[in-house]
Chains A and B, each alone.
Chain A
Amino acid sequence: MSGYDKLIFELSSPGRIGYSLPAPDVPNADPKELLAAKHLRASPPELPEVSEFDVVRHYSRLSQLNYGVDTHFYPLGSCTMKYNPKLNEDMARLGGFARLHPLTPETHSQGALQLMWELARDLAEIAGMDAVSLQPAAGAQGELAGVLMIRAYHLARGERRTKVLVPDSAHGTNPASTAIAGYRVVQLKSDAEGGVDLTDLERNLDEEVAALMITVPNTLGLFEPRILEISEMCHAKGAQLYMDGANLNAILGITRPGDLGFDVCHFNLHKTFTTPHGGGGPGAGPVGVRAHLEPFLPTPVVTKTDDGYALDWNRPQSIGKLQAFWGNFGMLVRAYTYIRTMGPDGLRAVADNAILNANYLMKRLEPHYDLPHPGPCMHECVFSARRQKKLGISAMDVAKRLLDLGFYAPSTYFPLVVEEALMIEPTETESKETLDAFCDAMIQIAREAESTPQVIHDAPVTTPVRRLDQTLAARQPDLRWRPRGG
């Protein structure tokens, strides 16, 4: 399996075809008669000529070079790599969803609109928000929408604020989204316990601050214990409070962003709500707001009227559109299916088991790896490999050795506030048996670091390729295949 080294282009053989198209059934089929020569491509693109079976075998074999949640425990912190139910996939592929054109008249898309309306309502209940837009395509776009709504809110009140506060432990998307929305990003320090440093917050919180953007639980897997105080401090200065909902899985049914004082939060449906990660997407990043921000929601908004469900475009204060159509609907169908599968008690059990699994794993690994911020943790925990580093073994080395032992790796070197970080999120869908096997592997690596470090330095050896030369890739970018001699 690991010997398979081809690109689809390298399977090409002139004259081979992998498609089946109908013969033209209309007259005047010659493009040269319909369009001027300047509009017609002079030479064909260099694309492969392969049979259908070539394609099927090639991509089947490529898939086998991957670790996925279906095949491997995937403890990638902050990404909530839980089981992606097969039923969700079936539902998203139903013809009335998968083959529905976005500009179908509303009279003929009532089922889709109803699903969106109900999902928005359910997400609002889950987050304690008053309204939800399903349009953002991913978490980062949800952040952009949220910050733009905050901006529009302040401007509508005649306030031109210039700064957004973001803790140093935040996801990189937070400062990036904030910057695109036109704000200066001010980084806040974390305190010794990994929470927001209230003194630093106090010092930076003035009337120029549009918002504080924080992740709850934070990227250290810890719940911010002074969240209500932080909320009061922000609101007293007229600043809005934004919650990055990447870690919402931990608090389902336990507490709600709205009840914690947040004005805006986004949801990552590909994390908490089981839509698959797809090798990097698509996801979906709906954004929820309290009532005072509702006028600024992206257009259109799905509404329920006496005549049924409709898209409301008449939103004069809206921040506008984020993508061409209404949202990543296929992902919305999956998340809706999941919520209806779980019900209120099931979702609460999700959070409970996610927390239980993370704490169990943390307890088992604590003797073997440094834990800069002791728990209890929420849905994930962050270890440091600094003890191993003294033996010449980095967090990266630990990650690579895990691949050999049959596990995907935790997130490494994030959050930035932890040296040699190993961020582990087991999720609730993994059993104790799997967690034990993973912990055994982690403990084995800690021992190897002391006794046989070379085996770690050599890792991985069981994967299709060994450690790759990142420097070469960046110095001499080779970003596309070219024909030999081309």
Chain B
Amino acid sequence: MRYLPNTPAQQKEMLRSIGASSLEDLLSPIPPKARLRRPLNLAAALAEGDLVRHMRALTALNADSDQYTCFLGGGAYDHYIPSPINHLISRGEFFTAYTPYQPEASQGTLRTIYEYQTMVAELTGMDVANASLYDGASSLAEAALMAHSATEGREQIAISRGVNPLYRQVVATYVEGPNLRVKEVPLGDGTTDLAALKKTVSGKTAAVIVQYPNFFGCLEDVQAAADICHEGGALMIVATDPVSLGLLTPPGALGADIVVGEGQGLGVPLSYGGPNLGVFATRTDLVRRMPGRLVGATVDRDGKRGFVLTLQTREQHIRREKATSNICTNVALCALMATIHVALLGKHGLRKVGELALAKAHYAAEALTKIPGVRLRFGAPFFKEFALQLPKSPERVVKRLAKEKILAGIPLKPFDRSLKDCLLVAVTEKRTRQEIDAFVQALSQAVV
């Protein structure tokens, strides 16, 4: 077996040094009754070439977004991934290391995390970011728990129905244990109904949560929501798409206390929805309530700059049941992808990505709504994603366009029955005018 280096002769020699006559001797503590007396019922081992053939056959059944034109969003986006990212993260010194418990032998990882924390803080407009959590949804759930503890146990969470419904489901799972009550705030014309929000927020509210841009692509009035939130003494949590923040006003400038987001669009492959990148940032005064790892700068014995994991008394390996979160393994390598991505795009590139996506999405929306019976479901301003109301079943339209190698969008019925005639369409900077025109053409035929 090519991954197991010890030869039979070495195994014998090692057993002899141990003083065991066979491996069985070493298994004596295992109750004989519980021993498995047969081989595991798994398929026999495959040679490398055969396995590659099998895996390729599986991939052939999937819609590779390079072979389809992808207008799918809903929390995962087909943004361009510059070539250097994969080369750099494939260096074994990065991807085969673990959590930098020995900082002297992990300065590469630690320094990239420090850079990542800085980039996230800059993009979100917040003071401090952690080293990453799992994904946007679990980051949002962690933010809700943090708000609960930071408001001395307030038990209600007001969450806008503009927040991705999949995220709302994850929040519901996480608040089950602490028994928090989640109150959903309805939408007006694509954005949170602020009058309804005002009625929802009370002295019991730990946090108000909005998404920006929201699930339907619309831009919330975050500042107005934050004002209502702060009047009630709650913390303002904003879930965001960091890709948008080169162009859009950062939530930190709009009254956010905690900003979370899905960083997948920053150089992380779609990979059927995971691993993703849970972005988490907050204000300096809340840092000790924060979940997840933090890297800080310090000096070594010779006064040289170096980096370490810090403020670890928040974490499970020190504080156990009193920790701010149970997270241990995070998504460091995805954070590294984002770090390299943001470094490549730099001070102005992310704004350009945002401008392209914005322009192309608006071009697509305008062309699509010229098709008879097709209209924008909401009137609120949007970024790169929008909900279309169709005269034909969105499910059927999706099916028909898939035959033309177009992934048309996400039918909204499973998320909200009142939107059963709607399709959520995302347009990234990758889509060309030609692709959009072909999409418009195909959709116009599909809805006739």
Contact = CB atoms under 8 A, between A and B. Distances in A.
Interface string B77-112: 010001010111011111111111111111111011
Interface residues of B, number: 208
B167 to A, nearest CB: 6
B310 interface: yes
Given A63-B108, A69-B97, A110-B62, A340 B45 contact: yes
Closest 4 CB pairs of A and B: A96-B59, A325-B273, A70-B92, A102-B273
A465 B304 contact: yes
Contacts of A25: 432-433
A26 B331 CA distance: 36
Given A45-B245, A347-B40, A322 B298 contact: no
Contact of B349 (A18, A103, A115, A279): A18
A454 interface: no
Interface string A355-375: 111011001100000000001
B422 interface: no
Interface string A22-41: 10111111110011101111
B329 A148 contact: no
Interface residues of A, number: 210
Interface stretch (A173-181, A198-206, A286-294, A441-449): A173-181
A181 to B, nearest CB: 4
Contact of A60 (B60, B88, B299): B88
B418 interface: no
A465 B306 contact: yes
Contacts, number: 723
Contacts of A228: 31, 33-34
Interface stretch (B67-75, B192-200, B370-378): B67-75
A125 B59 contact: no
A139 interface: yes
Given A8-B115, A48-B346, A176-B325, A320 B169 contact: yes
Contacts of A185: 320-321
A94 interface: yes
A486 B318 CA distance: 34
B231 interface: no
B345 interface: yes
Given A324-B166, A339-B42, A345-B39, A85 B3 contact: yes
Interface string A176-191: 1111111101000000
A479 B287 contact: yes
B438 interface: no
Q: Which of A44, A125, A224 has the most chain B CB within a 10 Å cutoff?
A: A44
Given A52-B82, A63-B93, 9 more contacts: A28-B362, A64-B93, A68-B92, A87-B52, A111-B59, A177-B326, A283-B329, A323-B138, A343-B46
Given A138-B328, A140-B327, A182 B178 contact: yes
Given A100-B62, A102-B270, A280 B109 contact: yes
B349 A21 contact: yes
B313 to A, nearest CB: 8
B368 interface: no
Contacts of A76: 98, 101
Given A64-B108, A467-B300, A139 B329 contact: yes
A114 B61 contact: yes
A430 B332 CA distance: 25
Q: Which of A84, A125, A172, A285 has the most chain B CB within a 10 Å cutoff?
A: A172
Contacts of B442: none
Given A137-B275, A330-B275, A480-B118, A108 B328 contact: no
A101 B72 CA distance: 7
A479 B294 contact: yes
B320 A172 contact: yes
A293 to B, nearest CB: 16
9 contacts: A26-B360, A69-B97, A72-B105, A112-B58, A141-B138, A172-B323, A179-B322, A254-B30, A256-B34
Q: Which of A284, A409, A480 has the most chain B CB within a 10 Å cutoff?
A: A480
Given A227-B34, A325-B273, A66 B298 contact: no
Interface in B25-71: 25-31, 33-36, 39-46, 48, 51-52, 54-68, 70
Interface string B323-346: 101111111111010011011111
Given A180-B326, A330-B275, A432-B6, A63 B86 contact: no
Given A35-B381, A340-B51, A227 B31 contact: yes
B448 interface: no
B262 A324 contact: yes
Interface in A302-346: 313, 319-331, 333, 337, 339-346
A160 to B, nearest CB: 12
B147 to A, nearest CB: 14
A36 B223 CA distance: 14
A420 to B, nearest CB: 16
A408 B167 contact: no
A386 interface: no
B184 interface: no
B326 A144 contact: yes
A21 B60 CA distance: 30
Given A64-B108, A408-B102, A428-B4, A356 B407 contact: no
A87 B109 contact: no
Contacts of A55: 84, 88, 340, 343-344
A118 to B, nearest CB: 9
Interface stretch (B14-22, B151-159, B203-211, B385-393): B14-22
A278 B97 CA distance: 6
Interface stretch (A235-243, A387-395, A468-476): A468-476
A41 B62 contact: no
A38 B39 CA distance: 65
Nearest to B304: A465
A322 B295 CA distance: 26
Contacts of A30: 359
Contact of B104 (A171, A347, A463, A473): A463
Contact of B34 (A105, A255, A430): A255
B76 interface: yes
Contacts of B65: 99-101
Contact of B170 (A99, A320, A375): A320
A264 interface: no
A481 B105 contact: no
Given A39-B381, A474-B310, A28 B298 contact: no
Contacts of B201: none
A103 to B, nearest CB: 5
Interface in B91-143: 91-109, 111-115, 117-119, 121-123, 127-129, 131-132, 134-138
